[in-house]
Amino acid sequence: MRGHRERSGSLFSYVSIEERIPASHPLRRIRKLADQALDRLNPTFCELYASEGRPSVPPEQLLLASLLQAFYGIRSERLLLEQLHYNLLYRWFVGLSPDDPMWHPTTFTKNRERLLNDDVMGRFLEKLMAAPEVKPLLSDEHFSVDGTLLQAWASHASLERTDGQDDPPPPPSGPGEGFGQPKGEKKRAKGDFRGIKLSNKTHRSGTDPDALLARKSNAHPALPSYRGHVLMDNRHALIVDCKVTQATGTGERDAAKAMAADIPGAHQKTIGADKGYDTKGFVAEMRRIGVTPHVAQNTARSGGSAIDGRTTRHQGYAKSIHARRGIEKVFAWIKQWGGLRQFKLRGTDKVSAVFGLHVIAYNLIRLGNLLRPAAMEAA
């Protein structure tokens, strides 16, 4: 017998939201790890909020919602709240029941300085990597480091001169332009830099002064950018530290030195890196702090490579060079799937917090896959 479609649905539903989420869904393993790390952050949350007054949205729910935004590359917080309004999977992950009212979009704005900052993200990453299930997956000896350019939320049109000089008049744009016109009478349009050499010494973005002009190679244009850095554990390609700096010429090596110095333990460690780190200063600093630099040799550099046979003769050097390639997957995921090809926030502090959140999201996805066999056996 043919069934007929009911135009009006049932008034009440007695199915639990927990029953609607498949037992094998990857977000189950991810939420368990995230909840454990957030539980360990409870003392930090208690310090951030007043003991009296009207209760706010739980910080754990806001951070879980932000992780969802990173997992699925949702473009804005308004689109995230729209999904949370009707998507039962998202509501389950955040900890909302189907009847709970949705937050106002400004909830994220008002809590951004309190929660989405470098300090909270650093503690979040630390608590996540200190979990009992995660510790056996980590090594305390072999690491890799690398950096990538992060495009800032600013354009060439926002550049302003900082050296106190005036821009020269623009060159003629057509065959008849400029004839019969007094010299210097025509003014440049905003963002018109024809015939002007742009430099960080002479120009700076008015909308994001922390962003500096940088380019990936001579084939790419120089854009207002930041530089993101990560320190990866070589055993399972998990990120143990991250940092955002201004896009200076020595930013990658300076950040690598700082992160390598923070690795705990007085034992001998190794750190792999690409040819950009093959400088005498970086290699000498690594050896001074007890870290063996497994840096790819840059034989085209004037003066030769700073890495000699003392390092390359060991089998561990080739293994580190091979394992280092896994760090590129981190940047690829953050930019392609995490939606951070260009930031939508301005300032080093905010950019660093969002970058740290996406590093945590990458680790959670990675851990969900690594811990899957154990979870299936336990089930």
Angstrom CA distances, 71 to 7, 58, 284, 362, stand at 35, 20, 39, 8
Which of 23-37, 141-155, 189-203, 304-318 is least confident?
189-203
**Residue 300 has what pLDDT?**
78
Q: How many CB atoms lie within 10 A of CB 155?
A: 14
Q: Taking Cα atoms as reference points, which of 138, 150, 79, 43 lies closest to residue 363?
A: 138
Q: Which residue has the tokens 């919602």?
A: 65
Nearest to 153 by CA among 76, 70, 219, 64: 76
pLDDT above 70 for 297: yes
8-14: long-range contacts, CB 8 A cutoff, minimum separation 24: 13/98
Cβ 219 vs Cβ 230: under 8 Å: no
Q: Rounded CA gap, 148 and 155, in Å? A: 19
pLDDT over threshold 50, residue 379: no
- How far, in Å, are 122, 150, 211 from residue 243 at the CA level? 9, 12, 15
Whether 245 has a pLDDT exceeding 90, the answer reads yes
Return phi, psi of residue 243, to 5°: -160, 150
**Tell me, what's the pLDDT at 112?**
86
The most confident of the ranges 79-93, 161-175, 362-376 is 79-93
Rounded CA-CA distance 29/16 in Å is 19
Query: Model confidence over 153-197: pLDDT tens digits?
Result: 988 888 888 877 777 777 766 554 554 555 545 666 666 677 778
Q: What is the pLDDT of residues 29-84, one digit of tens each?
A: 999 999 999 999 999 988 888 887 888 889 999 999 999 999 999 988 999 999 99
Per the CB < 8 A criterion, the answer to whether 245 and 219 are in contact is: no
The predicted structure's pLDDT at residue 173: 63
Looking at the chain, how many residues does it have? Answer: 379
pLDDT band at residue 99 using 50, 70 and 90 as cut-offs? confident
DSSP string, 229-294: EEEEETTTTEEEEEEEEE--TTHHHHHHHHHHHTS--SS-EEEEE-GGG--HHHHHHHHHTTEEEE
Residue 150 CB neighbours (<10 A): 24
Contacts of 243 (CB under 8 A, 6+ apart): 228, 229, 230, 255, 258, 259, 352
Residue pair 71/361 in contact by the 8 Å Cβ criterion: yes
The pLDDT tens digits for 110-136 are 888 888 888 999 999 999 999 999 999
Q: Which pLDDT score is estimated for 375?
A: 42
Give the number of other CB atoms < 10 A from CB of residue 42. 10
CA distance 361 to 355: 10
Q: What is the structure's pLDDT at 7?
A: 65
At residue 157, the pLDDT reads: 84
Per-residue pLDDT, 268? 86
DSSP per-residue string spanning 53-118 = SS----HHHHHHHHHHHHHTT-S-HHHHHHHHHH-HHHHHHHT--TTSPPPPTHHHHHHHHHHSSH
Prediction pTM value = 0.87
Phi, psi angle pair for 244, to nearest 5°: -125, 130
- CA 153 – CA 205 distance, rounded (Å): 10
In the chain the domains, ranked by start, together with CATH numbers, are 17-47+55-115 (no CATH), 137-154+224-347 (3.30.420.10)
**Cα–Cα distance, 38 to 279 (Å, whole number):** 40
